[in-house]
């Protein structure tokens, strides 16, 4: 009996099957079998039909996020169900919807009678921007009575949700912008609101706004969480007046650029913050700090009022004082990014302040003090610049590099330190540093210059675990040979490769490995029916445990936990697996033997 395989189907038959199958089913069944099938689907199947009747929500989510973006321009037939589909929907998120799309949708929202969460747009944090009046959303909205959480990324007018009782149940609200003069009246429509995220701005007369807010006796007892980006035209007295209307506030997060200078005054905050406030974070920046005494301002935030609550404040200046930033410090992750002329004003006695910090981000200018506030740091991510001489490392930075817990160096992908700087750091670090995370691009820059051979030798001596990320660059065979030589002593590795031949090469050369996580395209693994047997036949490993996991849309991860190696016929094994390997034959044997 002849058993045919799907990946061997003739091209004409694949195209003909595409005329009968639903497009989403077609791609789910055939895409990724091999490169030929992928090419046929993408370039020869021009008329695709999509049917969304009688599919589950999980299928619907998968189709919309994984398949439709690839085939949307070639869909010629779309079958949608009537209003009865998804009637029990609890959560709905709409991405990349225009204002006109939303205007069409709004009249139908009330039909989702079980809907609890509605999110329109894709965002995590709103920022101030100039409002386009054409985008002003003034339509009357009727929301489902069941709704609890609403994220609505549109500038809203006073007419929005004026007469409807559909807002009575909403507990979480995320809107683009609110004006100070309508804030009180707007929040009255949400009596159960406990979380609000928005941009707070000021449209008109300051005195009138302050009078409207302070003159109101309404208390918003339900509001617990407030996350605001405050525009520069909002005065601190206005904002303080509003805070007095939220006595049960537990969390306050504020971000502001060039705010009223009273926002930098610790005494002003102490006089207006609720006694129930347990979490307070702010990030205040001004580019014109005229008349500000940085040290005096910071000193006020060192009082018992702040330290007893665990609210620790730091101050940064740059450009000779023309840039001034006051912010709270977060634990357990601390960000210490410095520009060359940056100055951090944190007392050196703060070493006991963050005993649980295990991760730090550090700018390349190592001559600046980090104040050694992280005695238990395990990993440091270094941002860098490839210009300038290697500077003297500040004693406090040396304390970090020689912390007994420090073991992991992370090289930033976007602004990486140079190989020379890494060597400088390794030379100054304790012997416990043995883990390196970097990008494939960074490794390529390391291997392309012969001047870096000493640095490669240092990595050979020190690094035992390597994590490669941002792997859009494929290492050449020459790079793989340099890679194997440099990291010959690796015990653990995590990386992405493009072929099983490359995986076999590295597994056979890196003889000290105890664990490997290799991501490969699914097309490379389709023809391997027994992965365990393939490892036995193509590597020196005999004692190992293997597991295959899903990676991306068209890739899988191979996890190997490796025991002792087979050494019974090591010479024969090496000759068979190495000498005939395409990487070795192409780059070494043919050139030197």
Residue pair 172/148 in contact by the 8 Å Cβ criterion: yes
Q: Say if residue 27 is exposed, middle or buried (CB neighbours under 10 Å; 0-12, 13-18, 19+).
A: buried
**Measured distance CA(224)–CA(50) in Å, rounded:** 45
DSSP 390-418: PPPPPHHHHHHHT-TT--EEEE-SSSPPP
pLDDT exceeds cutoff 80 at 61: no
Give residue 213's Cα distance to chain centre: 38
Lowest mean pLDDT among 9-18, 38-47, 117-126, 476-485: 117-126
**Measured distance CA(216)–CA(212) in Å, rounded:** 7
Place 88 in a pLDDT band, splitting at 50, 70 and 90.
confident
pLDDT exceeds cutoff 70 at 122: no
Q: What is the pLDDT of residues 163-193, one digit of tens each?
A: 556 677 888 888 877 888 778 878 888 888 9
Q: What is the pLDDT of residue 131?
A: 45
Lowest mean pLDDT among 58-72, 378-392, 449-463: 378-392
Domain boundaries, the chain: 6-79, 331-433, 461-593
Q: What is the pLDDT of residues 217-270, one digit of tens each?
A: 788 889 999 999 898 889 999 999 999 999 999 999 999 988 998 999 999 999
Q: What is the pLDDT of residue 373?
A: 60
Q: SS3 for 192-228, per residue?
A: CCCEEEEEEECCCCHHHHHHHHHCCCCCCCCCCEEEE
pLDDT exceeds cutoff 90 at 147: no
pLDDT exceeds cutoff 50 at 338: no
∠ CA 216-218-223, nearest 5°, is 130
Percent of the chain whose pLDDT exceeds 70? 72
pLDDT exceeds cutoff 90 at 444: no
Q: Which residues contact 72 (CB under 8 A, 6 or more apart)?
A: none
Residue pair 284/244 in contact by the 8 Å Cβ criterion: no
pLDDT exceeds cutoff 90 at 109: no
Residue pair 425/364 in contact by the 8 Å Cβ criterion: no
Give the residue, 291 or 352, on which the prediction is more confident: 291
Alpha-carbon dihedral 453, 456, 460, 466, rounded to 10 degrees: -160
| 12 CB neighbour count, 10 Å cutoff | 10
């Amino acid at each position: 009996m002849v058993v045919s395989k799907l990946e061997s189907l003739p091209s004409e038959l694949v195209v003909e099957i595409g005329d009968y199958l639903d497009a989403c089913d077609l791609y789910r069944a055939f895409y990724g079998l091999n490169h030929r099938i992928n090419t046929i689907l993408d370039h020869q199947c021009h008329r695709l039909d999509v049917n969304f009747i009688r599919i589950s929500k999980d299928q619907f989510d998968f189709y919309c996020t994984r398949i439709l973006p690839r085939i949307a321009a070639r869909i010629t037939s779309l079958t949608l169900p009537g209003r009865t589909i998804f009637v029990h929907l609890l959560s709905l998120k709409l991405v990349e919807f225009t204002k006109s799309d939303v205007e069409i949708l709004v009249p139908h929202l009330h039909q989702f009678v079980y809907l609890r969460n509605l999110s329109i747009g894709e965002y995590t944090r709103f920022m101030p921007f100039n409002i386009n009046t054409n985008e002003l959303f003034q339509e009357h909205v009727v929301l489902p009575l069941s709704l609890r959480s609403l994220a609505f990324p549109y500038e809203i007018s006073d007419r929005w949700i004026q007469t409807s009782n559909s807002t009575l149940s909403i507990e979480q609200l995320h809107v683009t912008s609110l004006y100070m003069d309508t804030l009180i009246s707007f929040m009255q429509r949400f009596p159960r609101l406990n979380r609000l995220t928005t941009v707070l701005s000021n449209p008109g007369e300051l005195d009138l706004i302050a009078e409207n807010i302070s003159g109101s006796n309404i208390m918003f007892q339900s509001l617990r969480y407030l996350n605001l980006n405050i525009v520069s035209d909002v005065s601190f007295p206005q904002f303080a007046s509003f805070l007095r209307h939220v006595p049960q506030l537990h969390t306050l997060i504020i971000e502001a650029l060039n705010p009223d200078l009273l926002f930098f005054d610790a005494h002003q905050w102490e006089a207006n913050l609720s006694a129930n406030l347990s979490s307070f974070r702010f990030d205040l920046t001004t580019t014109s700090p005229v008349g500000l005494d940085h040290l005096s301002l910071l000193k006020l935030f060192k009082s018992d009022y702040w330290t007893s609550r665990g609210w620790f404040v730091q101050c940064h200046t740059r450009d000779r004082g023309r840039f001034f930033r006051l912010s709270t410090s977060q634990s357990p992750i601390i960000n210490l990014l410095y520009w060359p002329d940056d100055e951090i004003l944190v007392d050196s006695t703060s070493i006991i302040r963050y005993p649980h910090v295990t991760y730090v981000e550090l700018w390349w200018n190592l001559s600046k003090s980090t104040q050694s506030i992280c005695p238990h740091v395990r990993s440091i991510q270094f941002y860098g610049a490839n210009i300038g001489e290697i500077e003297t490392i500040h004693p406090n930075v040396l304390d970090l590099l020689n912390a007994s817990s420090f073991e992991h160096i992370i090289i930033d992908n976007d602004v990486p330190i140079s190989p020379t700087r890494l060597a400088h750091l390794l030379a100054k670090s304790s012997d416990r540093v043995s883990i390196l995370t970097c990008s494939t691009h960074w490794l390529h820059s390391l291997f392309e210059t012969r001047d870096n051979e000493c640095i490669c030798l240092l990595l050979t001596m020190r690094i035992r675990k390597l994590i490669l990320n941002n792997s859009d660059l494929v290492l050449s065979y020459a790079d793989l040979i340099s890679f194997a030589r440099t990291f010959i002593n690796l015990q653990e590795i995590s990386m992405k490769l493009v072929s099983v031949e490359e995986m076999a090469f590295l597994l056979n050369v890196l003889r000290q490995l105890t664990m490997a996580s290799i991501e490969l395209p699914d097309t490379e693994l389709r023809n391997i029916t027994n992965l365990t047997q393939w490892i036995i036949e193509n590597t020196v490993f005999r004692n190992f445990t293997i597991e295959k996991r899903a990676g991306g849309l068209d890739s899988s991860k191979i996890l190997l936990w490796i025991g002792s190696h087979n050494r019974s016929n090591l010479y024969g094994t090496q000759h068979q697996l190495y000498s005939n390997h395409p990487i070795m034959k192409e780059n070494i044997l043919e050139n030197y033997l």
